[in-house]
Amino acid sequence: MNHEIRLYGAGFARSARCRWTLQELGMDFEEISAAKMIGGDELREFHPQSKVPAIVIDGERLFESSAICTYLCDISPDQRLIAASGTRERALHDQWVSFGLSEMEGYLWSNAKHTGFYPEEKRVTAVVERNTEEFRKGAAVLDNALSETPFLVGGNFSVTDIILGWTVNWARRMGHLGDFPNLQSYLDRLFAREHCALNPE
């Protein structure tokens, strides 16, 4: 079934997860380059915090990159980029997405705020140190999981890897992968994919 899809995105931002998912699924879509719209009222119509990504699918709005990617896969079951709801594999998808966003990405995001996004007077160095410790605990769990399998669910590439791969690549770009060789080789496998949308720098 064809869908009318409009993605509000910005380069390598989290919207890259959605672009990559759409391309893996072979879905047609229009991407609005929304970097300059962030924080403004026009984008707020599609995202309550006026952030990217936001998407409009057949006239219905959705935000949060992991929810968007998961939904796109659910409406394209023939592409087998996600397991069906109620299966063990789907539970593992939910597990790793929750884990990656709460135990890893949240700390990276807070670090980005305390090292750059916030004005100097709001930045707290001690928060960055604690965040980094907590991030490393999460990264160690993922690194250990990837010592036994090339991809996170069922040994095959899936949308779970698109979502977690973005987080791991952000960690690499912030210099946090030194002690986690399995995360680095995981990224190598992701970068080798034709539609990989991760920032290579």
Ligand X SMILES: N[C@@H](CCC(=O)N[C@@H](CS)C(=O)NCC(=O)O)C(=O)O
Q: Footprint of ligand X on this chain (CB under 6 A)?
A: 13-14, 38-39, 51-53, 64-65
Q: Looking at beta carbons only, is 13 or 153 nearer to ligand X? A: 13
Contact 55, 7 (CB under 8 A): yes
The b-or-e profile of 93-103 (16+ CB within 10 A means b, else e) is beebbebbbeb
User: Closest CB to ligand X belongs to which residue?
Assistant: 51
Least Å from the CB of residue 18 to ligand X: 9
Of the candidates 154, 182, 155, which has an alpha carbon nearest to the alpha carbon of residue 168? 182
Least Å from the CB of residue 179 to ligand X: 25
Q: Looking at beta carbons only, is 49 or 149 nearer to ligand X? A: 49
Q: Looking at beta carbons only, is 37 or 182 nearer to ligand X? A: 37
Least Å from the CB of residue 48 to ligand X: 11
Q: Looking at beta carbons only, is 92 or 101 nearer to ligand X? A: 101
Contact 108, 171 (CB under 8 A): yes
In degrees rounded to 5, what are phi and psi of residue 97?
A: -65, -45
**What is the identity of the amino acid at 162?**
I
Q: Looking at beta carbons only, is 65 or 70 nearer to ligand X? A: 65
Least Å from the CB of residue 144 to ligand X: 25
Least Å from the CB of residue 94 to ligand X: 15
For residue 102 the two structure tokens come to 């709460």
CA dihedral (86, 92, 97, 103) positive or negative: positive
